[in-house]
Amino acid sequence: MSTLDVRLYVVTDPALTPEDRLVEMCVAAVEGGATVVQLRNKQAGDDELLRQALRLRTALREYGVTLVVNDRLDVARQAGAGVHVGVSDATPARARDALGAQAVVGWSVESPEHLASDQTAACSYVAASPVWSTPTKADTAHPLGPPGVAALRQATGLPLVGIGGINTPERAAEVIAAGADGVAVVSGVFGVGDPRAAAASLRAAVDETLRARAGAQTPAAG
């Protein structure tokens, strides 16, 4: 199975991506360079969320990006999407059982201890939660900062994204330089006027830092 491309992972928020603009804004983010889209709407009922997930799936199919639903296993399964779970949700193992071997299952990790758990065997990727504090989500663990991301990198070979407060290309570059494979972003893409341009700037910073990191790891010839 090929490695999941998590370079720019955008996460929706009903306050920033209202239903009548949800698809248009996600398509713009993908055209700017997003590789994963997560539908996150804590208030929506299952029927409403499923309707949104199906609309997104249809619109995103031609772009070949990954669609993930936050928290709700049943909606994810019915939409043919992946799922993201946190420490207070269903476990990754339960999500894997519900969605099957091919599905994308993501897990929030708040410390290297989480990565010592056998739950990681069920994960397609993990998210460093949070890198910086953010007004977008108040109920997070203590921020890890880039050093915390580096500690998680040492503890896992799974695709690793940082999330929380990554709202500038400079911050995105810091997270990648610390060892993450990608950045997960809400307000830095959907809270600005032009999601396509914001996604393109963040993606450029991610790609440039990944290239610099790869160059630094390759021994010079001679």
Ligand X SMILES: Cc1ncc(COP(=O)(O)OP(=O)(O)O)c(N)n1
Which parts are annotated binding residues?
A: 38-42, 70-71, 89, 108, 134-137, 165, 186-187
**Integer Cα distance of 63 and 60 in angstroms:** 5
Task: Please state, as a whole number, how many other Cβ atoms lie within 10 Å of the Cβ of residue 102.
Answer: 8
Provide the Cα torsion 183, 24, 68, 212; round to 10°: -20
Q: Is 163 in the site for ligand 3NM (CB under 6 A)?
A: yes
Residue 38 contact, options ligand X, Mg ion, ligand 3NM, none, Cβ 5-8 Å cut-off depending on partner type: ligand X
- Please pick, from the candidates 37, 75, 186, 198, the single residue that binds ligand 3NM as defined by CB under 6 A: 186
Any contact of residue 12 with ligand 3NM (CB under 6 A)? no
Residue 129 or 209 with smaller CB distance to ligand 3NM: 129
The CA distances from residue 74 to 46, 62, 82, 168, 199, in Å, are 8, 24, 11, 34, 29
Active site residues: 40, 108, 137
Cβ atoms 167, 188 nearer than 8 A: yes
- 187 binds ligand 3NM, rule: CB under 6 A: yes
Quote the DSSP letter at residue 185.
E
Q: Which member of 12, 17, 134, 209 binds ligand 3NM (CB under 6 A)?
A: 134
Q: Which does 198 bind (CB under 5 to 8 A by kind): Mg ion, ligand X, ligand 3NM, none?
A: none
Other CB atoms closer than 10 Å to residue 147's CB: what's the count?
8
Q: Which residue is nearest to ligand X (CB)?
A: 86
Q: Which lies closer to ligand 3NM via its Cβ, residue 65 or residue 163? A: 163
The answer to whether residue 71 forms part of the interface with Mg ion (CB under 5 A) is: yes
Q: What are phi and psi of 199, to 5 degrees?
A: -65, -40
Given the complex with ligand 3NM, which of 79 and 132 has the nearer CB atom? 132
Q: Which residue is nearest to ligand 3NM (CB)?
A: 130
d(CA 9, CA 65): 10
Task: Look up residue 108 and give its two tokens.
Answer: 């929030």
Return residues touching ligand 3NM (CB under 6 A).
Answer: 11, 40, 108, 129-130, 134, 136-137, 140, 163-166, 185-188
